[in-house]
């Protein structure tokens, strides 16, 4: 069987990551990856093919439709890859609600159901669905699949999913769903490959990026996570607030001249590291800054992460290991060091040299709780899902 291609799309609020995977009789193999950045003109398409990197300024403008942007991106990709051999395109969709507990092929009914979940993930869901519709217009012949961040957390006990609100509201869907499930699924599998004994135990994974959350795993199965009904909950993030007393929202609605739109902007785009520091949403900028506001933002970030690790350890009934992943978790030793210093009482002790070098295991050999740095790969999970869905359909 000659090699065919799968293309994956991982939509964020302002970027889209594209993965290209080849497959034949053997396993999937990544052969390229790219990122389209929508934040400022000119739009940029950064493409990596083997050892080569291409930084391409697109003619499409930030206000252009996704059809126009993707059409140009596909033309650029066709200079490097034979897109005629693509058999499917897979997407990360943030919210699958209670209906979707695994990957599906996208049809009209699926798209309609996912549209209904847009209010639950207003920053990410529209971007993912917009990509699906744009590809439908450009390549209506290609099957498209959806993989859901919420699906990995369907193993939570009912008590973990509930808020202390009237039962009818829970039954209507106001409950804790959890997110970053594709990342956690990848890490669970990768930890099992690297250390099968620890992977069977109680592990907290810290997915720390612009969006950030933590997940408690027992035997590789999700038991609890920091994000709940929306991607606002849990620890502070780049521009998102994390857990917030709902009384603050009542106060702002009553006294602060806020409506739903202004609250959404405040909580999703003007809070977190950016809001506390007043400097930047990027933790690298804050680490390099000598201003006290920068230090306070980072201290709050790490304090809340450590507190969430302890809460998840309570759910799990103990802790055997912690895994740091995503952009901050994988690449920023000062953040890992600050978090683990607050968790020494749990038996977590960092090897400073290993941490500074971003090694795979960053805890001391004698530490009761192990600490790892494992790069995540959501696109690989999306590609595996897409291949399984199209193969099952023949």
Residue with tokens 């596909």: 74
> Are 232 and 107 in the same domain?
no
What per-residue confidence (pLDDT) applies to 80?
Answer: 82
Residue 161 lies in a domain: no
Residue range 163-177: average pLDDT?
Answer: 95
Least confident of 113-127, 132-146, 240-254: 113-127
What per-residue confidence (pLDDT) applies to 74?
Answer: 84
More confident residue, 16 or 146: 146
> Are 204 and 329 in the same domain?
yes
More confident residue, 260 or 122: 260
H or E segment to which residue 207 belongs: strand 202-208
Residue 352 lies in a domain: yes
With cut-offs at 50, 70 and 90, classify the pLDDT of residue 95.
very high
With cut-offs at 50, 70 and 90, classify the pLDDT of residue 197.
very high
Choosing from 115, 148, 181, the residue where a domain stops is 148
Average pLDDT, the chain: 92
Other beta carbons within 10 angstroms of residue 365's beta carbon come to 9
With cut-offs at 50, 70 and 90, classify the pLDDT of residue 16.
confident
With cut-offs at 50, 70 and 90, classify the pLDDT of residue 81.
confident
Strand ranges in 38-181 using DSSP code E only, listed in sequence order:
44-49, 52-57, 86-93, 104-105, 144-148
Other beta carbons within 10 angstroms of residue 195's beta carbon come to 18
Least confident of 113-122, 261-270, 368-377: 113-122
Choosing from 148, 174, 207, the residue where a domain stops is 148
Residue range 119-132: average pLDDT?
Answer: 86
> Are 128 and 211 in the same domain?
no
Domain coverage including residue 24:
4-148
Q: How far, in whole angstroms, is CA 175 from its chain's centroid?
A: 20
What are the pLDDT digits (tens) for 45-68? 888 877 778 888 888 777 767 888
What per-residue confidence (pLDDT) applies to 164?
Answer: 97
What per-residue confidence (pLDDT) applies to 170?
Answer: 95
**Short-list 35, 22, 91, CA closest to 381:** 91
Residue 168 lies in a domain: no
**Short-list 117, 294, 324, CA closest to 213:** 324
> Are 201 and 124 in the same domain?
no
Number of H helices, E strands in the chain: 16, 13
What per-residue confidence (pLDDT) applies to 342?
Answer: 97
> Are 118 and 243 in the same domain?
no
What per-residue confidence (pLDDT) applies to 13?
Answer: 66
> Are 141 and 8 in the same domain?
yes
Residue 117 sits in a domain whose CATH number is 3.30.420.40
**Short-list 183, 109, 115, 197, CA closest to 149:** 183
Total domains, the chain = 2
> Are 217 and 134 in the same domain?
no
Whether residue 12 has pLDDT greater than 80:
no
Residue 393 lies in a domain: no
Q: Residues near 155 by Cβ (< 8 Å), separated by ≥ 6?
A: 221, 222, 223
Whether residue 70 has pLDDT greater than 50:
yes
Q: What is the DSSP pairing of strand 144-148 with strand 86-93?
A: parallel
With cut-offs at 50, 70 and 90, classify the pLDDT of residue 324.
very high
Residue range 105-127: average pLDDT?
Answer: 89
> Are 124 and 255 in the same domain?
no
Whether residue 1 has pLDDT greater than 50:
no
What per-residue confidence (pLDDT) applies to 327?
Answer: 93
**Short-list 248, 231, 249, CA closest to 240:** 231
Residue 210 lies in a domain: yes
Residue 84 lies in a domain: yes
What per-residue confidence (pLDDT) applies to 58?
Answer: 80
Residue range 231-244: average pLDDT?
Answer: 96
- Distance CA(252)–CA(102), nearest Å, equals 39
> Are 257 and 143 in the same domain?
no
Residue with tokens 């230090």: 295
The residues annotated as belonging to the active site are 149
Q: Which two tokens stand for residue 310?
A: 């302890």
Q: Residues near 295 by Cβ (< 8 Å), separated by ≥ 6?
A: 286, 289
The share of the chain scoring above pLDDT 90, in percent, equals: 72
């Amino acid at each position: 069987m000659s090699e065919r291609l799968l293309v994956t799309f991982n939509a964020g609020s302002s970027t889209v990551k594209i993965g290209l995977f080849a497959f034949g009789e053997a396993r999937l193999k990544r052969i390229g990856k790219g990122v389209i950045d929508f934040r400022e003109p000119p739009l940029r398409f950064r493409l990596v093919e083997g050892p080569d990197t291409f930084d391409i300024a697109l003619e499409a403008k930030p206000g252009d439709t996704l059809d126009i942007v993707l059409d140009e991106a596909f033309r650029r990709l066709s200079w490097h890859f034979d897109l005629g051999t693509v058999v499917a395109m897979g997407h990360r969709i943030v919210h699958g609600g209670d209906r979707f507990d695994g990957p599906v092929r996208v049809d009209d009914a699926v798209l309609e159901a996912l549209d209904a979940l847009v209010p639950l993930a207003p920053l990410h869901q529209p971007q993912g669905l917009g990509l699906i519709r744009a590809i439908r217009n450009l390549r209506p012949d290609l099957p498209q699949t959806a993989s859901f961040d919420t699906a990995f957390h369907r193993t939570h006990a009912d008590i973990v999913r509930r808020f202390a609100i009237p039962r009818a509201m829970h039954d209507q869907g106001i409950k804790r769903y959890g997110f970053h499930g594709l990342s956690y699924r990848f890490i669970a599998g990768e930890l099992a490959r690297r250390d099968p004994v620890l992977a069977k135990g109680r592990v907290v994974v810290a997915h720390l990026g612009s969006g950030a959350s933590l997940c408690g795993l027992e035997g590789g199965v999700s038991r609890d996570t920091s994000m709940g009904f929306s991607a606002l909950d849990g620890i502070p993030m780049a521009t998102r607030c994390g857990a917030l007393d709902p009384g603050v929202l009542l106060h702002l609605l009553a006294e602060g001249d806020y409506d739903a739109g202004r609250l959404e902007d405040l909580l999703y785009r003007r809070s977190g590291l950016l809001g506390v520091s007043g400097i930047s949403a990027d933790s690298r900028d804050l680490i390099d800054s000598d201003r006290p506001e920068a230090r306070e933002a980072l201290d709050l970030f790490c304090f809340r992460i450590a507190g969430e690790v302890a809460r998840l350890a309570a759910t799990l009934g103990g802790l055997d290991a912690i895994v740091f992943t995503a952009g901050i978790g994988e690449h920023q030793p000062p953040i890992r060091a600050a978090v683990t210093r607050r968790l020494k009482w749990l038996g977590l002790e960092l090897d400073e040299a290993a941490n500074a070098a971003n090694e795979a295991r960053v805890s001391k050999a004698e530490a009761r709780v192990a600490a790892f740095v494992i790069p995540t790969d959501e696109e690989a999970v999306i590609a595996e899902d897409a291949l399984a869905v199209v193969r099952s359909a023949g």
